[in-house]
Amino acid sequence: MSQDQPAADGRTDGPPGDLSTLLAIMAKLRDPDTGCPWDVEQDFASIAPYTIEEAYEVADAIQRDDKEDLCDELGDLLLQVVFHAQMASEEGSFTFADVVAAVTTKMIRRHPHVFGDIDRDDPVAVKARWEQIKADEKAEKRARQMAKGEGSEKPASALDGVPGTLPAVQRAFKLQAKAARVGFDWPTPHAVLAKLREETGEIETEIKASPVNKARIEDELGDILFVVTNLARKLDIDPNVALERTNAKFIKRFQWVEESLRETQEPVGTASLDTMEAAWQRAKTEA
């Protein structure tokens, strides 16, 4: 790994748009003698939640189509990369330059149809080649880990490579997609719907059971969510996007209900369920 310093002169007063200035600022913040006490005490684990949060804020700005905010949030996300790279540099693991070199090399390697002499006019072949290159990379990485005594002796699985830290729906979607690549998949969306009906019947049975077994209900509910996610995949729909659209729709309609009842004798909070339901039905056509 390269141990080059991010900014040759370490200046923190350079041009704001110069990446070396940001790298120098991060190094200064992490200086154990003159840096920021909060920044100095952080480690990879403590910073990881902020990295995830910033990625979500980028996605939120995109969803709101707020380009000014998107620029700001992308800067915050870049800072997270710089923060992790600085900590790694301090312990001698890698530098920011190594991060850039790794992703640059990866993008060139994974796009021979752009940077090489491979035909790029066949989308199916391009996707197949992409998957094969990724599989080769995974095998090489596993071989390196085994050589260093770091890898697991457990045989490789088609499901390897899906991070356990992903949100549950996104992780389910990726696990199902990986299983589908090796032929473990329902043939049609109708087959998934049949499975969904089966699962809803099973949770209905558990809800009616006496005594109620909450653990079994939780298990059945998990099955339903997993199947719904699979249905979205079969329909080529991102379940996260679909759910976020429904969230936005719910917010808009519920706020319409709040506004419509605010000046009545039964505002939200004191209104009966029948009153709120009637307002909700109006909101479905008005909001």
Looking at residue 152, what is its pLDDT?
62
Q: Are 45 and 103 within one domain?
A: yes
Residue 11's CB is within 10 A of a number of other CB atoms, namely 14
- In order, the DSSP letters of 109-158 are HH-HHHHSSS--S-HHHHHHHHHHHHHHHHHHHHHHHHHTT-S-SSPP-T
Asked if residue 161 is part of any domain, the answer here is no
Q: What is the dihedral of CA 194, 199, 201, 207, to 10 degrees?
A: -170
Task: Report the chain's C-alpha Rg in angstroms.
Answer: 26
| Among candidate residues 197, 212, 237, the one where a domain is terminated | 237
Q: Which two tokens stand for residue 59?
A: 């996605």
Whether 266 is in a domain gets the answer yes
How confident is the model over 72-107, as pLDDT tens digits? Answer: 999 999 999 999 999 999 999 999 999 999 999 999
Torsion sign (Cα): 154, 52, 251, 286: negative
Whether 155 is covered by a domain: the verdict is no
Q: Is a pLDDT exceeding 50 seen at residue 3?
A: no
pLDDT at 151: 63
Residue 6 domain flag: no
User: Range of 272's domain?
Assistant: 241-286
Q: Which of 80-89, 121-130, 244-253, 275-284 has the lowest mean pLDDT?
A: 121-130
- pLDDT for residue 185: 96
Distances (CA, A) of 74 to 46, 50, 61, 176, 226: 20, 13, 9, 30, 32
231, 123: one domain = no
* In a domain? residue 39: yes
The CATH number given to whatever domain includes residue 139 is: 1.10.287.1080
Residues 23 and 6: beta-carbon distance below 8 Å: yes
Q: Position of tokens 């998934």?
A: 192
Last residue of a domain, one of 237, 253, 277: 237
Q: How much of the chain, in percent, has pLDDT values that exceed 90?
A: 70
Instruction: Return the pLDDT at 143.
Output: 80
pLDDT of the residue at 223 = 97
Among candidates 221, 229, 222, which has minimal Cα distance to 179? 229
Asked if 36 and 143 sit in the same domain, the reply is yes
- Same domain, yes or no: 73 and 190: no
Identify each DSSP E strand in the chain by its residue range: none
Mark whether 121 and 141 lie in a shared domain: yes
- 28 and 97 together in one domain: yes
pLDDT, tens digit (0-9, with 9 covering 90-100), for 261-281: 998 888 999 999 999 999 999
| pLDDT at residue 7 greater than cutoff 50 | no
The count of structural domains within the chain is: 3
How far is Cα of residue 266 from the mean position of the Cα atoms in its chain?
Answer: 41
Task: Work out the average pLDDT over 13-35.
Answer: 94
Mean pLDDT of 1-28: 77
Same domain assignment for residues 47 and 137: yes
| 69 CB burial (10 A radius; 0-12, 13-18, 19+) | middle
* Residues 86 and 45 reside in one and the same domain: yes
| Structural domain includes residue 211 | yes
- Percent with pLDDT over 70 in the chain: 95
Model pTM score: 0.69
In a domain, 158, yes or no: no
Q: Is residue 87 in a domain?
A: yes
Asked whether the beta carbons of 129 and 117 are under 8 A apart, the reply is no
Same domain, 138 and 25: yes
Question: In terms of domains, do 69 and 29 share one?
Answer: yes
Helix (H) / strand (E) element for 184: namely none
Q: How far apart are CA 5 and CA 96, in angstroms?
A: 9
Residue 132: band (very low, low, confident or very high) from pLDDT cuts 50, 70, 90: confident
Which range has the worst mean pLDDT, 123-132, 196-205, 240-249, 251-260? 123-132
Contact between residue 186 and residue 195 where contact means Cβ atoms under 8 Å apart: yes
Query: Considering the chain, what is the average pLDDT of its residues?
Result: 91
What pLDDT sits at residue 29? 97
Q: What local confidence, expressed as pLDDT, does residue 127 receive? A: 82
**35-39, 215-219, 242-246: lowest mean pLDDT where?**
242-246
Q: Identify whether residues 278 and 186 lie together within a single domain.
A: no
- Check whether residue 113 and residue 180 sit in a common domain: no
Q: For residue range 142-183, what is the model confidence (pLDDT) as tens digits?
A: 787 777 776 666 777 889 888 888 899 999 999 999 999 999
